[in-house]
Amino acid sequence: MIAPTKIRILECIRQGQIGGGESHLLSLVENLDRTRFEPVVLSFTDGPMIDRLQQMGVTTHVIYTTKPFNVLKWSTVKRFIEKENIQLIHAHGTRAFSNVIWAARTLKLPVIYTIHGWSFHDDQKWWVKKLRVAGEAYLVQRSDINISVSKSNQLTGKKMIPSFDSVVINNGINLKKFNASGSYADVREELNIPKDAIVLLFVARLTRQKQPLALIEAFEKALASNPKLHLLMVGDGEDKPKAIQLIKKLRLEDKTTMLKARSDVPALLAASDIFVLPSLWEGLPIGLLEAMSMGKAIIASNADGTIEIIEDGINGLLVQINDLVNTTASAITKLSNDGPLRKKLGEEAKITITQRFNAEVMTNRIEELYTQLMEAT
């Protein structure tokens, strides 16, 4: 009996560094039914994600560009897609989709576009926002199916682009990998963080969106009420030099540990007590879901995607974007001085993930869309 031909899918992502969209892609590829689907990954920069995918035996390729709509790369992308006999394209994010759309249209291939977070935001100059809305409108109108990672992500799209339509599929977490009962390397010992310290963990890109500087200022305020606090910041990004400078200015060197991006996120989470994400905006933050899966007490801003996950006082604490430093400092103080509350919030966070944000459920729903599109072509 001849085995059925696998559907060759191009999973396209903007970068090889591991952020939210990249973690989503890794989870998806890891859980795909390999008897039916053959993933090929195209990234527009190199990085640790490429190494991880290659270790998983996934065909990967990098065509370097940090620009959206980079027409100089479109012919190269088209040749790669033809060479790999791609049958369906799944683009993750604006930059990725903008650089594969011409090839997809030219080769008449079906396309799915996952919006992990819109490229337009209220704090942008009016003309920048207008330009980005126009770019997103162009893209969403040319995909066969759009996926929103949260209901709020979908509603934002509908508000700015009246013709926008999408399917909501929440990001999912690998519950075996992010397991509070698992055994992990002792990160505290590795980093010489005292065993009795209350570790505040930030794992994200150090960019304006994620507000690392506001977190450092909030941490300094909270430290006055609990000297056992220790801030562990993990990630890279354009605001990292400013963050290091601010730590020195506030004389927090002994109370903070700054690391470059690492792949052992479960071990980092196991070493922490509180996870903090004070973002200005989010689609559906995967780092937050991972921390919740590990049963961590959460402090997060009331950003669009986040408020779909965190119910204030039930499975985490929400802080106010319009007063980030003060409300984050208050939340840190509250949780650092209340062990039972940390435990209660962490347990509820874990239940939320198990019930609503499972990677297998997410992958099954995406596989259904793949099959639906292929049957229609």
Measured CA to CA, the distance from residue 321 to residue 327 in angstroms comes to 9
170 touches 284 (CB < 8 A) = yes
Residue 2 has pLDDT above 60, yes or no: no
Can you give the CATH number for the domain in which 211 is found? 3.40.50.2000
* Same domain flag for 163 and 232: no
Per-residue CA distances from 187 to 165, 191, 194, 299, 349 (Å): 44, 6, 11, 21, 22
pLDDT digit string (tens) for 225-234?
Answer: 999 999 999 9
Measured CA to CA, the distance from residue 189 to residue 49 in angstroms comes to 27
88 bridge partner residues:
9
Residue 1 has pLDDT above 50, yes or no: no
| 325 domain residue, yes or no | yes
Work out the average pLDDT over 136-165: 95
Residue 3 has pLDDT above 70, yes or no: no
144 touches 373 (CB < 8 A) = yes
- Hey, what are 67's tokens? 């620009």
| 99 domain residue, yes or no | yes
Measured CA to CA, the distance from residue 22 to residue 30 in angstroms comes to 12
* Same domain flag for 136 and 247: no
Q: Which secondary-structure segment (H or E) carries 355?
A: helix 339-356
The whole-chain average pLDDT of the chain stands at 95
* Same domain flag for 194 and 133: no
- Hey, what are 182's tokens? 């698992």
* Same domain flag for 127 and 213: no
* Same domain flag for 250 and 122: no
Residue 26 has pLDDT above 70, yes or no: yes
| 229 domain residue, yes or no | yes
* Same domain flag for 90 and 208: no
* Same domain flag for 322 and 301: yes
291 touches 266 (CB < 8 A) = no
| 198 domain residue, yes or no | yes
Query: Whole-model pTM?
Result: 0.85
* Same domain flag for 55 and 101: yes
Domain limits at 163?
Answer: 7-172+358-376
* Same domain flag for 228 and 352: yes
Model pLDDT, residue 283:
85
Q: Return the ∠ at Cα 278 (arms to 314 and 96), rounded to 5°.
A: 110
* Same domain flag for 38 and 22: yes
Confidence of residue 4 (pLDDT cuts 50, 70, 90): low
Model pLDDT, residue 263:
86
Q: Return the ∠ at Cα 11 (arms to 58 and 35), rounded to 5°.
A: 55
| 338 domain residue, yes or no | yes
| 180 domain residue, yes or no | no
* Same domain flag for 23 and 60: yes
* Same domain flag for 207 and 310: yes
202 touches 240 (CB < 8 A) = no
Number of independent structural domains in the chain: 2
| 179 domain residue, yes or no | no
pLDDT digit string (tens) for 355-367?
Answer: 999 999 999 999 9
| 340 domain residue, yes or no | yes
Model pLDDT, residue 112:
98
